[in-house]
Amino acid sequence: MVPITTFHYLVVAAALFVLGVIGVLTRRNVVIVLMSIELILNAVNLNLVAFSRMWGNLNGQVFSIFVTVDAAAEAAVGLGILIAFFRNRETINVDEIDLLKW
Amino acid sequence: MNPVLNSGMAPVATPWFFYVLGGLAVASGVAVITRRNAVHAALALIVTLLSVAGLYLMLYAPFVAGVQIIVYAGGIMVLFLFVIMLVNIERSSKERRFNRMWPVGLAAACALMALFVSAIVKGKTVLTDPRTGQALWPDIIAKLPESSNTQQIAGMLYGEAGRMGQYTFAFEIASLLLLVAILGAVIMTKKKI
């Protein structure tokens, strides 16, 4: 069995990132779009921790803690916006949230 | 600020752990973006987060794995589930899942994947470290000591022995960010401001 190198972790992180991008670009449900953004942030965290292990210091892990804090704040505010919008318009389809379209 | 490298530790897990955890993460990631029911997608995202936490444990990062489980899977996903239950989306589980421009999105994501693969392959074979002359992405060489991981992260965040840590200022800014986010989320959901 080939030993697990940094390359393997980067491939998993790239796959998760691309799956998150597909979810953001193609789904119509706003909650699923927000969950795909969380997938993207998790892929970035995995990248950071893998490189932290490769170089042997803890900077990547501390940075990933900050990314997690930022993801929590962003999820809270995004879901607050979603609830406020749902209260006014009764829809959570991205296609129908088009007030700013010309 | 480099921690002491402990070079005589046995590996923590066999490669099968990586393939199981990585495959589970990618498979439940696919489930997140394809499920029609939002609650199913949220549960699949919880499985993804837990398997990524297992990958962190394999990477000798127990504190980050704990933060991932407690904050992400235990806090953010519970918030998502509450909002999914608040927003009554019975109607949306019977509608179309993907919007009309989904081939364009898929093509853009495939282009992004091709870019990532070329970057990873190129970095593995072409780029070399100017200091040591080895490939810039070697096999995992440094084994971090697992017992004092939390103490070392705390030293970098809070400072130790009377000095400020390397990331103390960023830590204070992050707490300010959380305060602003809490205020924003509370005000956003009030009926009368």
- Nearest 5°: CA angle at B127, between B123 and B132? 125
**Residue B99 in tokens:** 């919007």
Structure tokens at A46: 């995995």
Tokens 């009926």 sit on residue: B191
The CA-CA-CA angle for residues B27, B31, B35, to 5°, reads 170
* Closest-CA distance of chain A to residue B160, Å: 15
Q: A32, B79: Cβ pair inside 8 Å? A: no
> For each successive 10 residues of chain B (193 residues), what is the average pLDDT?
42 76 96 91 96 92 94 94 82 72 90 92 68 57 66 87 88 95 88 73
Domain boundaries, chain A: 6-96
Q: Of B180, B175, B52, B77, whose CA–CA distance to A79 is shortest?
A: B77
Can you spell out the DSSP letters for A15-41?
A: HHHHHHHHHHHHB-BHHHHHHHHHHHH
Contact A69, B179 (CB under 8 A): no
pLDDT of the residue at B97: 76
Whether A16 sits inside 8 A of B29 (CB atoms) is yes
The alpha carbon of residue B139 and the mean position of all alpha carbons in its chain are separated, in whole angstroms, by 22
3-state secondary structure of A93: strand
Nearest residue on chain A to B49, judged by CA atoms?
A: A42
pLDDT > 90: what percent of chain A?
59
Q: What residue has token string 């942030």? A: A41
- ipTM of the prediction: 0.93
Q: Is residue A16 within 8 Å of B26, Cβ to Cβ?
A: yes
Alpha helices in A27-98 (DSSP H): 30-55, 59-89
Q: Rounded to the nearest 10 degrees, how much is the dihedral formed by the CA atoms of B134, B140, B146, B152?
A: 40
Quick check: A66 and B14 CB within 8 A?
no
Find, among A81, A13, A90, A27, the residue nearest to B120 by Cα. Answer: A13
Rounded-to-integer distance, Cα A57 and Cα B142, Å: 9
Interface test with B, best of A7, A62, A94 (most B CBs within 10 A): A62
Q: Residue B128, SS3? A: strand
- For chain B, the domains span 12-95, 145-193
The CATH code of domain A6-96 reads 1.10.287.3510
Q: pLDDT for A31-63, tens place per residue?
A: 999 999 999 999 999 999 998 888 778 899 999
pLDDT at B8: 40
Residue B11: its pLDDT value, please?
A: 52
User: Is the pTM higher than 0.90?
Assistant: no
Contact B137 A61 (CB under 8 A): no
The pLDDT value recorded for residue B59 is 87
With an 8 Å Cβ cutoff, are A72 and B76 in contact? yes
Answer yes or no: CATH 1.20.120.1200 is held by domain B12-95.
Answer: yes
- CA-closest candidate to residue A29, choices B34, B43, B105: B34
